[in-house]
Amino acid sequence: MTSPMRMLHTMAHQQPASGNLGPETRRRVWGFARPYRSRITGFLLTLVAASLLGVVPPLLFRQIIDGAIANSDRRQLTFLGGMVVLAAVAQAVLSFMERFWSASIGEGLIYDLRVALFDHVQRLPLSFFTRTQTGALVSRLNNDVIGAQRALTGTLGTVVSNTITAIVTVTTMMILEWRITVLALVMLPLFVFPARRVGQIVADITREGMNLNASMNNTMTERFNVSGALLAKLFGRPDEERDGFANRADRVRQIGIRNAIYSRTFVIALTLLGALGTAAVYWLGGSLAIEGAITIGTLASLGVLVTQLFGPLTQLTTARVDLMAAFVSFERVFEVLDAQNPVADAPDAQDPQNLLSSGGLRFDNVSFRYPSPGETTVASLETEILTDPNEPERLVLKNIDLSVEPGKMLAIVGPSGAGKSTMASLIPRLYDVTEGAVSIDGHDVRSLTQDGLRARIGVVSQDPHLFHESIGENLRYARPEATDQDLIEACRSARILHVIEDLPEGFDTMVGERGYRLSGGEKQRLAIARLLVKDPLIVILDEATSHLDTENEALVQAALGEALVDRTSVVIAHRLSTVMAADEIVVLDQGQIIERGTHQELRKAGGLYQDLWSTLVGADSDQSPTSE
């Protein structure tokens, strides 16, 4: 059961910071908007023109009443009526131009934010993905990016448009009758002050709703992939899954209702204020008209203008509420963009293309601990933080010191949790060493560009990942420029070509999500074919045959025989029978090398390796040392 302290800790870390909507956020928003300066200028000029044009019809109505109608001048009436129509047409054109600029800026901003987020996230270290909820992360790239776009073009556009309209309207009203204008402005504080409190409440509600929506997205992402759906079905948990999802959906529903009530109450209150202000203006204007201080046309014009004034004032006040809610999206986007990447290229990193030629490996007194949560994660993207993010983790590897000659095979064996896979992951810099150095051909891997380094390393894991694409596209992921003949030769060497040729669509066959349309042995051999297409200098095999039956294991071993020729290789295996031919075997236990040597030497030594051999291979497969 989750302890109260853990629950409090979890809740604290699931909420993004809420005080970041100040100058720094605005500066960063402008940084993304800067490439669209010319379009923003066009957008603003269109808004100004539309606002100026908005006061033309009321002035024309004033002239129609006081001039054309009062003087019974049909010719002037026709001309002024035509001008009203022309103003309406001009406003329609400006509205179209405003929408064009808004869409151009908004869609461009969505593109920039999505690409920036995707690029930054995919470069983050592996430790980020081991702690992050995929659905919550996808939500940031979709919902929050769109919310950020809405803040910039929708809400900010409304603010600018209504501000200009209010200024132009007030100026026109002052010219027509200053006393009525002053009465209208007396109402202004009643529009402004309530917005501050309501804005903060709506922003908090919006933030909570976004977190819950991200949580629902994560649930759907996990349950609706093949593995998650299979697990839920096999354990017979559809009712529990539905109830858990329904609880979060119900919370989202309640938040939506609260948001709607606050927003609608606020708008109703402002509308009533506007109606009272309009009534007061008509009362004062009517009194002045009765006294002969102003004309009927002027009163009619002021009546239209005051409506145009209170409308923008209402929208400006609600816009502040909307803006605070929408800027939460920017806050959440920037939270991900600010995630630190401790595994980054050095400023002077070199391209290893011409530096690495033979593939000699060296672990020089290497120690390693996994990064703590506070070093690599975004707290609000995690379900739970179980440890203090600043608490140092234990060393997983301790003082590893060994060399692998070019073209030789190193096997790493040991009990589960000994650090075997962790040790292999340091070679392609999935993590960086805590102490010491890993080098290839005498070059510290941290001095090389990551893309160039990983292009020279091929990995086949225990459960190789295949994209939901065709066989050919999965193979070309290793080398996009590979020819059809390259794919055929790689598949022939990997003992998978005959399987592909028997498929109706051959290399165009879709493999299904995570390759579920293929058997385990077929997936493994396809992964080996992909490695051969890549043509790496160093090969890492991480439990590549552990879950295969005897027949598939024989095929995969034959494929690996082709893949390892003339390549430096690091092989991790529980099945010790697969590493008997290794040039050197190191035995890891609790992160330290406790034995090393060839298969025969380690059998004769009678240590942990011999114990593992006896346990895993079995007495019936045991051979005496002298018979090997």
Q: How far apart are CA 83 and CA 63, in angstroms?
A: 11
Read off the pLDDT of each residue in 463-481 and give the average, rounded to a whole number. 87
Token pair for residue 607?
């240590």
Token pair for residue 378?
């975004």
Which of the given ranges, 152-161, 173-182, 477-486, has the highest pLDDT on average?
A: 477-486
Q: At what angle do helices 156-176 and 296-337 cross, to 10 degrees?
A: 160
Task: Write down the pLDDT at residue 447.
Answer: 92
Q: Is residue 426 part of a domain?
A: no
Does 509 have pLDDT greater than 80? yes
Could you tell me the CATH number of the domain that includes residue 186?
1.20.1560.10
Q: Is residue 457 part of a domain?
A: no
Number of folded domains that form the chain = 1
Q: Is residue 610 part of a domain?
A: no
Where in the sequence is the domain holding 80, given as residue range(s)? 24-337
Say which range, 136-140, 356-360, 412-416, 453-457, has the weakest mean pLDDT: 136-140
- DSSP for 154-188? IIHHHHHHHHHHHHHHHHHHHHH-HHHHHHHHHTH
Q: How far apart are CA 536 and CA 561, in angstroms?
A: 15
Contact 476, 510 (CB under 8 A): no
Q: How far apart are CA 307 and CA 505, in angstroms?
A: 68
Q: How far apart are CA 97 and CA 103, in angstroms?
A: 10
Q: Is residue 549 part of a domain?
A: no
Beta carbons within 8 Å of 352's beta carbon, 6+ residues apart? 440, 443, 448, 449, 452, 453, 456
Q: Work out the pLDDT band at 628, boundaries 50, 70, 90.
A: very low
Contact 353, 451 (CB under 8 A): no
Does 400 have pLDDT greater than 90? yes
Say which range, 468-482, 487-501, 502-516, has the weakest mean pLDDT: 502-516
- Nearest Cα residue to 552 out of 526, 579, 531, 530: 526
**81-117: pLDDT as tens digits:** 899 899 889 989 998 998 888 888 888 888 888 888 8
Task: Write down the pLDDT at residue 16.
Answer: 41
Contact 546, 574 (CB under 8 A): yes
- Nearest Cα residue to 446 out of 433, 462, 457: 433
Q: How many Cα atoms within 13 Å fall on the side-chain side of residue 358?
A: 12
Q: How far apart are CA 606 and CA 619, in angstroms?
A: 15
Does 132 have pLDDT greater than 70? yes
Q: Is residue 367 part of a domain?
A: no
Helices (H), 55-155: 56-63, 74-122, 126-131, 134-139, 145-149
**18-57: pLDDT as tens digits:** 444 567 777 777 787 888 888 888 888 888 888 888 888 8
**19-29: pLDDT as tens digits:** 445 677 777 77
Read off the pLDDT of each residue in 135-141 and give the average, rounded to a whole number. 76
Task: Write down the pLDDT at residue 389.
Answer: 47
Contact 571, 423 (CB under 8 A): no
How many other CB atoms sit within 10 Å of the CB of residue 549? 10
- Nearest Cα residue to 571 out of 423, 384, 415: 423
Amino acid making up residue 104? S
Phi-psi region of 236 (alpha: psi -120 to 50; beta: other; left: phi over 0): left
Q: Work out the pLDDT band at 467, boundaries 50, 70, 90.
A: confident
Of the two residues 99 and 158, the one the predictor is more confident about is 99
Task: Write down the pLDDT at residue 234.
Answer: 59
* pLDDT > 70 fraction of the chain, expressed in percent and rounded: 80
Contact 80, 326 (CB under 8 A): no
Phi, psi of 412 (to 5 degrees): -115, 120
- Nearest Cα residue to 537 out of 349, 410, 361: 361
- Indicate the pTM of the whole model: 0.69
Contact 495, 555 (CB under 8 A): yes
Beta carbons within 8 Å of 290's beta carbon, 6+ residues apart? none
Q: Is residue 291 part of a domain?
A: yes
Q: How many Cα atoms within 13 Å fall on the side-chain side of residue 607?
A: 17
Alpha carbon of 578 to those of 192, 270, 585, 591: distances in Å? 75, 77, 11, 22
Q: Work out the pLDDT band at 391, boundaries 50, 70, 90.
A: very low
Phi-psi region of 441 (alpha: psi -120 to 50; beta: other; left: phi over 0): left
Does 416 have pLDDT greater than 80? yes
Read off the pLDDT of each residue in 599-609 and give the average, rounded to a whole number. 89
Q: Is residue 608 part of a domain?
A: no
Does 464 have pLDDT greater than 70? yes
DSSP annotation of 536: -
Contact 241, 223 (CB under 8 A): yes
Q: How far apart are CA 590 and CA 558, in angstroms?
A: 32
Task: Write down the pLDDT at residue 626.
Answer: 36
Rg, the chain, Cα only: 35
List strand residue ranges (DSSP E) for 341-472, in order: 361-369, 395-404, 409-413, 435-440, 443-444, 457-460
Contact 537, 567 (CB under 8 A): yes
Q: Is residue 617 part of a domain?
A: no
Q: Work out the pLDDT band at 153, boundaries 50, 70, 90.
A: low
- Nearest Cα residue to 344 out of 132, 130, 125: 125
Does 311 have pLDDT greater than 80? no
Q: For the chain, what is the mean pLDDT?
A: 79
